[in-house]
Structure 1
Amino acid sequence: MSVTMSGQLAEALEAAETGVLVDRMEAIRSREGNPEGIEIERFGGCTAVYSRTMGWTSFNAVCGIGPEDTGAVRSIVDYYRERNRKFEVRIIPGKLNAELAKELASHGLRQTGFHSALYAETAEAHTNSALTDSEQDDGDVTFREMNSDEIDIYGRIHCLGFGLPANGAAPIAANNRVLFGREGWRFFLGFAGGVHAAVGVMRVQGDIASFTLAATLPDYRGRGLHAGLLRKRIETAASCGARFVAAQASFGSASFRNMERAGLKLAYLRAIWTME
């Protein structure tokens, strides 16, 4: 019987997602001289991450906040203001009450969006993936784990897959090279006609395997690479003994639909609060 969603499971999924972000930032911070200016701070029961050079809110975010952290909101806002940095506050269902919402709003924060968290029991998703392997019978599309000397290829696919300038490939490669071989992290490649065309990343923490990123080169989309990388990671998560797989996507997006086809289901919609 499938495990149904509960507050306890939602908090476990949130903790795994926070663990992914914090471990990534700790690894990047460990680079000689901390070139990205990474900081990680605790405010009550929540965690705030900051980067001096990476301005995206994915690297400047507050995770794990709940009603018990209402009194820390002013300190959090001051922390990012002192660094002249826009940031986001991520709140899962069950962890927002009227007092916390009022405090966030009083400091100029407003809810500006949602982001989907999906999950599945690994064994169930693995069974579902095996039933759909016929979609990838074409030997033109293949998948395997990445080798350590392919991290520059990863940086290029990451950049072009997300529409970033190609000159960003080197710093992205550098920030992921420190994750390669780090405990729990696994990198995967997808090939189309022998060409490196897609990448996927996974981190296993405890009994949860988190799918942290996937990107496909624009010219190779629509060939099942994203779906295939999902299946490859589910297969690997099963071999690692993870009880659950978890992922994030924009609600209703192509990635979201691929995850549903792979057996994942909506866990919750995470609320995103940002400064006006």
Structure 2
Amino acid sequence: MLVSKHTAVLIENCIKQTHINVTCSYPAQAVLNISGGAACFSGTDSFLTQVIGWGFATERAQFGDDIAAIEQFYRQQGNPQVDIELCPLVPDWLPLQLGKRGYRLTEMNTVSIIDLRQQEGQWHSNTTSCLIRPVEKSELSAWARVVAHGFNCLEAEEHFYHYASAANVTAFAALVDNNLVAGGTIAIHDGIGDLGVTSTLPLYRGKGLQKALLLNRLQFAKEQGAKLAAVTTAPGSVSELNCQKTGFHCAYTRVKLTLGLE
């Protein structure tokens, strides 16, 4: 499947809209919409405090004003740095200009996609020892706690709760013997399903729960009318391998560029 700039824009816009929806659920938050992208702030410790979807519509003549506004926005929030998630299909001069301004590469992730329209029938998992289902609202706190433990990042529990509670986001749980032991999310916007926030408690790894969660979310996205599903993974990770085995293929590598603010 050819990954065009149009497809990349749809994927990044889905992620951007989810960022905005989640950010707006925080009591202390701010969003700056700029040139088709969004600078989001939901706390200095939040993984959603970053710029997403920016660059596609940025003209060279307006770059200086755009980046100055972004940096000033984060200074006003008291954030110590600017993190920009950048798709490689933005104009090639843009990352060069960011580099000249002092931005440095701090992270790389693989964005993979699957065409849900090409899949006939339903996705099935061979795992019969667990139950996969959407999470009830009353279960979101327990879900967030399990996911945080799975990531070994207990301090992010509140952020996972906000993420799973946002509009257009559905959290899924994997239950073994009626115990919630793994979880993941899918956010759907404009025909794109974005899978994320997926982890498993250490004791239950290697039992096919990640694959089961993946397949059930893909089936859910298809039933909701999504045309494509996307997932962001660390390059060469087990998660990336699991996605490839399911039929995902690499669309592009997204980079994070960071500037410390004095």
* TM bucket, shorter chain: 0.7 to 0.9
Question: Hey, what's the Cα distance between the residues in 2 that align with 1:199 and 1:43?
Answer: 33
Relative to 1, partners in 2 of residues 1:154 and 1:172: Cα closer, same or farther, differing over 3 Å?
Answer: farther
Aligned residue in 2 for 1:110: 104
SS of 1:238 mapped into structure 2: helix
Judged with a 3 Å threshold, the aligned counterparts in structure 2 of structure 1 residues 178 and 271 are, in CA distance, closer, same or farther, namely closer
Q: What displacement does 1:102 show?
A: 4.0
Find out whether 1:55 has 2:45 as its counterpart. yes
Distance in structure 1 (CA, Å) of the matches to 2:42 and 2:86: 21
Distance 1:242 1:174 in 2: 24
Aligned to 2:116: 122
Alignment of 1:68-217 (within 5 A): 68=59, 70-71=63-64, 72-82=66-76, 83-98=78-93, 100-125=94-119, 129-130=123-124, 133=125, 135-136=126-127, 139-165=128-154, 169=157, 171-172=158-159, 175-176=162-163, 178-179=165-166, 182=167, 184-217=168-201
| Deviates further, 72-81 or 266-275 | 72-81
- What is the match of residue 19 of structure 1? 17
Deviation at 1:127, TM superposition (A): 5.3
Cα distance, 1:230 vs structure 2: 0.3
CA distance 1:272–1:168, change in 2 (3 Å): closer
Give the one of 4, 7, 22 matched to 2:5: 7
Check the 8 A contact 2:53/2:85 in 1, yes or no: yes
Matching residue's letter, 1:88:
D
| Residue ranges of structure 2 left out of the alignment (5+ in a row) | none
- The one-letter code of the counterpart of 2:92 is N
Deviation digits for residues 108-139 of structure 1 (CA, Å, limit 9, x no counterpart): 21123311111111143565844xx3x32xx3
Matched letter for residue 105 of structure 1: G
Gaps of 5+ in 1: none
Farther off after superposition, 112-121 or 67-76: 67-76
Quick one: structure 1 residues 207 and 84, their matched pair in 2 at CA, closer, same or farther if it must change by over 3 Å? closer
Q: Which residue of 2 aligns with 1:219?
A: 203
| Matched residue SS, 1:222 | coil
Query: Partner letter of residue 223 of structure 1?
Result: K
Q: Distance in 1 between matches of 2:3 and 2:122?
A: 19
TM-score, length-scaled by structure 1: 0.83
| Aligned position for 2:248 | 264
TM-score by structure 2 length? 0.88
State whether structure 2 residue 245 is matched by structure 1 residue 245: no
RMSD: 2.2
More helix by share: 1
Q: How many residues align?
A: 254
Deviation at 1:173, TM superposition (A): 6.5
SS in 1 for 2:81: coil
Give me the identity figure in percent. 21
